[in-house]
Structure 1
């Protein structure tokens, strides 16, 4: 089947582990004063998996919620895109296992490793695929970062959590959201700022200040690009849903984009930074706040350096 089809987000979903880890537990272990983490990051708690919990199990829980929210039959899903930096295995990819756990028989399935920008990459690619093939796409962004951080290293131990978020894209003009404009970018000159070297298991952060500055610049520039593409003024944005890297980062981005704190999503407070999962998690948690014709701006930047932005129109 080929042609040109309308595209809408028709379902949202999310999932987190049961274990909620509050700042006090980490501050005591690292010898930090009470309140140190929240003052510097905006985080009060995050969720960490227990032994035996897998990435695809958490991703499947988010996917089931999104499929139920969409009210769509499993047979209508033509592709599964899994945005993750922490797959169950390096080989084979985890997306086919996710599709199997969801009963999506015969659907294509592939992992996308776009770091913190992974959901935006998957959203843009999924939208293009849906528009040309006319079959629904399930996008899940999920990470288990608690197994990839050095819990003795302050820079990573205080920030990261585990979560999954999901959306269903379908050939419809009557869904919740449509993609108005988008942009994706990368800058490999900053490739080594955050990473897990080959053969190792723990994340390293080499220069937090540089990463902070590059993230702010990338997210702000990408946000400006999609607003200009759509000929939309900042005052028209009803909801700003940035990647929840650090509250100071997205507050600086909002200031550059001339967006008020009132429109900015702040799921980082309770859920921490789950990399690619933060934007779909925030969308799912906030879906009842959206009203017809609201414009929703998404921006992200992450390791690689990768970045992007998207503008959604909520159709209700």
Structure 2
């Protein structure tokens, strides 16, 4: 039984051409400058047409693309994969799970296919479970994260009447998926998961974000689908990110000077800048994607890893930090290429 799980390869998927702030601003009727200044995200991708609302890429489409790319990059065949884990806040359907649909599309059979309902910490939560399965005897597995926005955002709504806690979601989020192959032995990219933090910390605390769901009995409810307490997030996430940094460094017995790369939380371009300044790990190179991809939720850490792995040298160390504000979950990874 292996004591360590390894990242063998990653894959990523973004739908359609990038949507810049000028196009988004014209559709929503908001200022391009407001989006630039308030959010700091330059582009994002949508699986639906911004002008018509037509859905062109489902979550299963994106996750299958990312997962297939990761398996190919690892040099494995579908028969080598012994489990599938998929983290998302926006499944295509409640049943069948998107995890099962993706396994079907990738030709995976006779294996566990788990789905984790989660937010921005979902990639780490899925990797945590995957690492446990590897330690339990599995030789290789596929871990995926992704989210889509078409069920929760409607660009045809009158945004002038929309409260800020709803409007902010229209400029923060994008669609996408990412994936990683976990292995029991160091193959392909040979990046060891040296430490992992996955901790719920929201006892008695109001949620920073709520993503609602309507059933048959309340489908005409006036409740907003997505609400973001951006001020609470601005106040809390930088401090939480710093706590995660030091908790992981202590767990790994590393110092900030040991880090070659830092993967900070990816709420928005502007927030990531603020958090990175607060973390103050000047010797580590930042690996971020949110300014180009938008906040893709469960895909974010995988998309950062896809950017990291080609540049991580043998012996190189990296730390990834993710904060879920829905109910305040702290998570992160310590990585080293062996």
TM-score of the superposition, structure 1-length normalised? 0.92
The corresponding residue for 1:260 is 282
The answer to whether the Cα contact below 8 Å between 1:94 and 1:110 also exists between their aligned partners in 2 is: no
The corresponding residue for 2:211 is 196
SS at match of 2:185: coil
Q: How does 1:53-68 map to 2 (within 5 A)?
A: 53-68=57-72
Question: CA separation of 1:221/1:5 partners in 2, compared to 1, >3 Å: closer, same or farther?
Answer: closer
The answer to whether the Cα contact below 8 Å between 1:4 and 1:134 also exists between their aligned partners in 2 is: no
Q: How does 1:12-23 map to 2 (within 5 A)?
A: 12-23=10-21
The answer to whether the Cα contact below 8 Å between 1:12 and 1:283 also exists between their aligned partners in 2 is: yes
Distance in 2, Cα, partners of 1:65 & 1:230:
31
How far has the Cα of 1:250 moved from its partner? 2.8
CA RMSD of aligned residues (A): 2.0
The corresponding residue for 1:8 is 6
1:177 matched to 2:175: no
Distance in 1, Cα, partners of 2:327 & 2:317:
29
Which string of whole-angstrom CA distances, capped at 9 and with x for unpartnered residues, describes residues 51-86 of structure 1? 242111110000011001100121121110001011
1:296 matched to 2:309: no
Which structure 1 segments of 5+ residues have no match? none
Distance in 2, Cα, partners of 1:247 & 1:167:
24
Aligned length: 313
Question: CA separation of 1:77/1:154 partners in 2, compared to 1, >3 Å: closer, same or farther?
Answer: same
1:121 to 111, 115, 125: 125
The answer to whether the Cα contact below 8 Å between 1:112 and 1:118 also exists between their aligned partners in 2 is: yes
The answer to whether the Cα contact below 8 Å between 1:42 and 1:268 also exists between their aligned partners in 2 is: no
The answer to whether the Cα contact below 8 Å between 1:150 and 1:203 also exists between their aligned partners in 2 is: no
1:97 matched to 2:109: no
The corresponding residue for 1:160 is 173
1:72 to 71, 76, 81: 76
Distance in 2, Cα, partners of 1:190 & 1:115:
17
Which structure 2 segments of 5+ residues have no match? 49-54, 160-165
Which string of whole-angstrom CA distances, capped at 9 and with x for unpartnered residues, describes residues 213-272 of structure 1? 222222221121011111111122111112311233333333333213961123112111
SS at match of 2:22: helix
How far has the Cα of 1:114 moved from its partner? 2.0
How far has the Cα of 1:39 moved from its partner? 2.4
Distance in 2, Cα, partners of 1:188 & 1:145:
28
2:241 to 219, 229, 239: 219
2:112 to 99, 108, 111: 108
The corresponding residue for 2:46 is 48
Greater C-alpha Rg: 2
The corresponding residue for 2:22 is 24
The answer to whether the Cα contact below 8 Å between 1:149 and 1:202 also exists between their aligned partners in 2 is: no
How far has the Cα of 1:43 moved from its partner? 0.7
TM-score of the superposition, structure 2-length normalised? 0.86
Distance in 1, Cα, partners of 2:184 & 2:176:
27
Question: CA separation of 1:188/1:115 partners in 2, compared to 1, >3 Å: closer, same or farther?
Answer: farther
